[in-house]
């Protein structure tokens, strides 16, 4: 399990990045289900927590376009 910023804790460790990405989406019909990649900052947090980029890596180019593409990839 990896930790995100603030009180929220990222919950994943499936051993597969693709499954961890799917887990960031709202689960249909689940009470309290919500989008976890709410903005570029949250995507940056997830990329770091999932160990896809080293901690402290500047992700300055990450914007709403990236967020849209990750959500499409997840679908």
Q: What is the pTM of this model?
A: 0.76
Number of domains composing the chain: 1
Residues 45-63: tens digit of each pLDDT: 999 988 899 999 999 999 9
Three-state secondary-structure class, residue 9: strand
Six-digit token string for 56: 């402290």
Provide the mean pLDDT of the chain: 82
Which helix H or strand E contains 66, and what residues bound it?
A: helix 64-74
Domain that holds residue 11: 2-74
Burial (CB count <10 Å: 0-12, 13-18, 19+), residue 38: exposed
């Amino acid at each position: 399990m990896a930790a995100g910023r603030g009180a929220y804790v990222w919950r994943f460790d499936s051993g597969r990045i693709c499954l961890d990405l799917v887990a960031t989406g709202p689960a249909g019909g689940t009470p309290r289900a919500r989008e976890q990649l709410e903005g570029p900052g949250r995507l940056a947090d997830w990329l770091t927590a999932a160990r896809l980029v080293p901690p402290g890596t500047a992700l300055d180019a990450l914007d709403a376009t990236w967020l849209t593409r990750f959500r499409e990839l997840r679908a």
